Amino acid sequence: MDKISSQSQLPSLIGALRQLLRARGLRHSDIAQRLGVAERTVTRWLSGERIDAQTIEQLCSLTGLSLFEVCDFASQRHEQHNNQLTMKQEAVLAEESVISYFFFGLLKGWTPKELQEDADIPEAVTVKVLVRLDKAGLIELLPGNEIRLRIARKIVPRNGGPISHAMNKWLRQTFRDININDKRSVIQYQELKLSAGSMAQIAKKFESLLEEIRGIAATDRPNHNNRKHWHTVLLAAQHHEIGPYANWPEP
């Protein structure tokens, strides 16, 4: 319980619990029923009122994560490190796909061992990549291939920089053969005419939804009983022009 001994850390932890419980599809009424309390009591707890260590551990158990894992997830949401990489650091990440695979996996909370085993990467390659990330100032390499991040978990790629270029290339490859009938994917689309103000609102909703999706992935990752597959989640409101009908291609 040392990690939540400070009252200043409690709001962050409660916020993480709310997100993870929502990701599990648990409403206040569901939580109340499972813990045998009134729904208003759950509302008080999740607003940070009159909540003790035992209750926090009970709520953590409902997310499928341990208290330590929830605390770690909370720290990922609220880290205050610099989220802007240098041009040199971005160039390192764009050097090889295995480097960016490890780096962005580490940002999501995966351990080097988990990433290595998931893609069946040789130990020598893993060590080489971790040393490269350490030299670039992105991680601190510790004994036993453990790491400590030196930057924020949520980075902002520079406009037109190496990471943006690599991401554009990756997305073009990933969605080149997109198929709305692919049962392994979830694809919804809608053509709409939107103002700049509406686009700003959509951007906020996208970020909120991505935060919730990250919570779903965080609760799913420790569950080794279910077979999981990689998915690239892309939320996009892509600008395009229709133009006058006279210029449309022939059917």
Residues 16 and 56 in one domain: yes
Question: Domain count of the chain?
Answer: 2
Domain boundary among 52, 78, 104: 78
Residues 110 and 63 in one domain: no
CATH code of 22's domain: 1.10.260.40
DSSP annotation of 126: H
CATH code of 108's domain: 1.10.10
* Packing angle of the helix pair 123-135, 97-107 (nearest 10 deg): 70
For 85-142, write each residue's pLDDT tens digit.
Answer: 899 999 999 999 999 999 999 988 889 999 999 999 999 999 999 999 999 999 999 8
Contact 151, 83 (CB under 8 A): yes
Burial of 141 (0-12, 13-18, 19+ CB in 10 A): middle
Query: Residue 144 and residue 124: Cα distance in Å, rounded?
Result: 13
At 8 the pLDDT is 52
Domain for residue 56, yes or no?
yes
For 191-211, write each residue's pLDDT tens digit.
Answer: 999 888 899 999 989 988 988
Domain for residue 93, yes or no?
yes
Instruction: Name every residue whose Cβ is closer than 8 Å to that of residue 140 and which is 6 or more positions away in sequence.
Output: 134, 147, 148, 149, 150
At 33 the pLDDT is 93
For 211-249, write each residue's pLDDT tens digit.
Answer: 889 888 888 877 766 778 889 999 999 998 888 878 888
Contact 31, 63 (CB under 8 A): no
pLDDT interval class at 2 (50, 70, 90)? very low
Domain for residue 193, yes or no?
no
Query: Residue 211 and residue 151: Cα distance in Å, rounded?
Result: 19
Query: Residue 87 and residue 161: Cα distance in Å, rounded?
Result: 7
Domain boundary among 78, 100, 121: 78
Of the candidates 215, 200, 235, the residue with the CA atom closest to the CA atom of residue 69: 215
Residues 6 and 37 in one domain: yes
For 171-189, write each residue's pLDDT tens digit.
Answer: 999 999 999 999 999 999 9
Q: Which domain holds residue 103?
A: 87-149
- Higher pLDDT: 73 or 42? It is 42
Region 1-28: mean pLDDT is 74
Domain for residue 251, yes or no?
no
Domain boundary among 30, 51, 78: 78
pLDDT interval class at 77 (50, 70, 90)? low
Quick check: 153 pLDDT over 70? yes
Contact 92, 132 (CB under 8 A): yes
Residues 11 and 55 in one domain: yes
Residues 49 and 97 in one domain: no
Domain for residue 227, yes or no?
no
